[in-house]
Amino acid sequence: MSKISVTLNKLDACRWTIPKTGGMRVPGVIYTSEALLREMGGDESPQQVMNVAYLPGIVKYSLAMPDMHWGYGFPIGGVAAFDVKSGVISPGGVGYDINCGCRMITSKLNFEDIRDRVKDLVVALFHNIPSGVGSTGVLKLSPKEERQVLTQGSRWAVSQGYGSEEDIETTEDHGAMAGADPDKVSPRAIERGRDQLGTLGSGNHFLEVEVVEEIFDPEVAAAFGLSVGQVAVLIHSGSRGLGYQICDDYLARMVKKMNELGVPLPDRQLACSWLESQAGKDYLAAMACAANYAWANRQMLMHWTRETFEKTLRKSPRELGMKLLYDVCHNIAKLETFPVDGKMMELCVHRKGATRSFPPGHPALPVCYRKVGQPVLIPGDMGTGSYVMVGTEKAYQETFGSTCHGAGRVMSRAQATRVSSGRQVAREMAERGVLVMASGKGTLKEEIPEAYKKLDDVVDVVHRAGLSRKVARLKSVCCIKG
């Protein structure tokens, strides 16, 4: 990666600009605060914001959210939009875990209903939800079934008895991205996906029981079905080995053809193809398959979570009232229409570690949320909890309908493991009131709370900048990790 001097100019309390230099086609804009910038230290994500601005067809600016940190090619927390006629698509702008995302389930339960059963719940969830590196589920899909998953997404899972039509209504894109073509997915990727459906995975993936601690916007909270003291579940997972392999396959293909692009780039990790080329179209079709796999995966995880609550608490589905609030993805590229210089343009919006944030009235939203705006789910580290926010018109106008996706790392996994050496992380979490179970101690060491930025600081930036508004804050009760 070429080293380029990064100049940050403060625009206001929440925005810093990187002026066009060298081969940059547009300026960079970083949403952050002075405190978060200082905390980044030597993280090179601002340089990656600059590098992304070199890509052909990029529109308006290269963006980064306050949870940004170094990633492959694009920074994690990066957003960039490209003209569909003259622009490119880059797997590094989507990420390896295609359609990694969050799903929140609300319930009729209050914390008092589970206070004495939290340990039972975390043990049962850990037993019933397959997790960990290379974990496999109870299903082994036939070739025909896997093709159906890759094209139908959540709807396939529901058709097999894993949930209801109501779940599909409150899933982004109704849980199925158009244009998916299994023929564009390699045999190796197909094989990796065959027995991983319905598994949580490893790393920062989790399933967490939370309690609503504070309401900021009563009107929107009521529309989302949230109230103080209420029990909710947040699931964070993605497309597993299938998505990783698709990214790897297409990066290899595009790196080989970089010279044919005819455009000098400062980093080979920005390997890309023209959106209108065969390689670009093939990647979009394969990426959609991974996105649909991820939606089906989270749908099944939710179904087993409901079953676990029913059996552990000995309550009926009606008594539990476990309902999908929303499912959002945050590693994706989508063809969407936005205003650019006074006219509407069709763009390919890359959101890598960034969440969609659509305003009230947008036709892509479920009817039940159209008056208030899109639910935005922002998880923190395993000891913090999460925020529910709502999409805004300002995000639609300024950031291609995008906001942050989480707390964002400040330590690498290796660094976090060194810092936590000799510590009993599970015991520390229990002392903080959060019961944690994981398939290995290594995961807990990598995921210590101090490895992440403070969630409140990140959320405050996007709230003050108007990219999404606070609706509710939830605290962790128990968590299972891979």
| Phi, psi for residue 347 in degrees, rounded to 5 | -130, 155
Residue 2 lies in a domain: no
Exposed e or buried b for every residue in 224-258, given b needs 16+ CB within 10 A? bebeeebbbbbbbbbbbbbbbbbbebbbebbeeeb
Residues pairing with 385 in the sheet: none
The answer to whether 42 and 6 are in contact (CB under 8 A) is no
Looking at residue 135, its pLDDT comes to 60
Tens of pLDDT, residue by residue over 69-109, are: 999 999 999 999 999 999 999 999 999 999 999 999 999 99
Does residue 2 register a pLDDT over 90?
no
Q: Domains in the chain: how many in total?
A: 1
Q: How many whole angstroms separate alpha carbon 413 and alpha carbon 388?
A: 27
Q: Is 362 annotated as a binding residue?
A: no
Whether 111 is covered by a domain: the verdict is yes
What CATH number does residue 151 fall under?
Answer: 3.90.1860.10
Q: Does the residue 277 lie in any domain?
A: yes
Quote the distance between the C-alpha of residue 130 and its chain's center: 20
- Residue 408 among known ligand-binding residues: yes
Tens digits of per-residue pLDDT, 309-353? 999 999 999 999 999 999 999 999 999 999 999 999 999 999 999
Tell me if 93 is assigned to some domain. Answer: no
Supply the pLDDT for residue 287. 98
The span from the CA of 186 to the CA of 332, in Å, is 19
Does 405 qualify as catalytic in the annotation? yes
Identify the CA nearest to 201 among candidates 382, 438, 381, 393.
438
Question: Cβ distance 459 to 37 under 8 Å?
Answer: no
> Given 174, 303, 405, 463, which residue is catalytic?
405
356: which 2 tokens?
Answer: 């969609």
| Residue 405 structure tokens | 């996706």
CA distances 265 to 3, 24, 54, 73, Å, are 12, 10, 6, 11
- The answer to the question of residue 445 being in a domain is yes
Structural domain range at position 401: 9-87+99-481
> pLDDT by residue (tens digit) across 228-257?
999 999 999 999 999 999 999 999 999 998
Check the annotation: does 97 bind a ligand.
Answer: yes
- Residue 408 and residue 77 in contact, taking contact as beta carbons nearer than 8 Å: yes
pLDDT of residue 41: 83
Q: Look at residue 274 in the predicted model and tell me its pLDDT.
A: 97
330 is in an annotated binding site: yes
Phi, psi of 51 (to 5 degrees): -60, -40
Dihedral (CA of 325, 329, 333, 338) sign: positive
